[in-house]
């Protein structure tokens, strides 16, 4: 599935649409957000989190690497692995403890983890183009497929 976001607000709205379309339940869910610096990964995560009722400011976890947000029925873990020095550091961050039902992971720079992350249910690849940002969405599990099937974006 492809989407074109002319503005940052469009990208945030896609995040919000994903929040609304997410299959009910609290199954462990992993979303990879791929794309270069400035591609809109954090903007999309912010739109998702706000649509899930997060009222606190959503900051990029650039230095903390991880932020957690309690939402209805689960906890959303927003990670930015850009500054991960070594994939081993994932253990220090305690990521393993959050790889269970009740958690939704939104992971920026998943490639920095060099294959040590749980597999993604959805990958979103964001690419900067002249007139906006192109976003390709792909499902990699039945949960991801159900999610995209429920997605209604204008």
**Cβ proximity to ligand ADP, 36 vs 101, nearer residue:** 36
Contact 45, 12 (CB under 8 A): no
Q: How far is the CB of 65 from ligand ADP (least distance, A)?
A: 13
Q: Tell me, residue by residue from 69 to 108, as one string, x for binding to ligand ADP by CB under 6 A and - for no binding.
A: ---------------------------------------x
First to last CA, the chain: 13
For residue 63, the minimal CB distance to ligand ADP (Å) is 14
Instruction: State which residue, 26 or 60, has the beta carbon closest to Mg ion.
Output: 60
Residue ranges in contact with Mg ion by CB under 5 A: 41-42, 60, 108
Measured from the CB of residue 60, what is the shortest distance to ligand ADP in angstroms? 6
**Residue 38: CB atoms within 10 Å:** 11
Among residues 3, 41, 52, 112, which is the contact residue for ligand ADP, using CB under 6 A? 41
Residue with tokens 């995209």: 148
Burial 121-140, CB ≥16 within 10 A → b, else e: bbbbbbeeeeebbbbebebe
Judge contact between 94 and 64, C-beta under 8 A.
Answer: no
């Amino acid at each position: 599935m492809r989407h074109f976001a002319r503005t940052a607000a469009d990208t945030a709205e896609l995040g919000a649409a994903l929040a609304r379309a997410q299959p009910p339940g609290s199954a462990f869910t992993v979303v990879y957000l791929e794309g270069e610096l400035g591609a809109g990964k954090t903007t999309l995560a912010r739109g998702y989190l706000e649509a899930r009722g997060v009222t606190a400011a959503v900051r990029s976890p650039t230095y903390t690497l991880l932020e957690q947000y309690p939402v209805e029925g689960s906890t959303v873990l927003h990670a930015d692995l850009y500054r991960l020095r070594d994939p081993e550091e994932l253990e220090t961050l305690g990521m393993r403890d959050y790889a269970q039902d009740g958690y939704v992971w939104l992971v920026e720079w998943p490639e920095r983890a060099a294959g040590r992350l749980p597999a993604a249910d959805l990958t979103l690849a964001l690419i900067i183009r002249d007139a906006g940002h192109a976003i390709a969405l792909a499902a990699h599990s039945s949960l991801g497929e159900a999610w995209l099937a429920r997605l209604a974006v204008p």
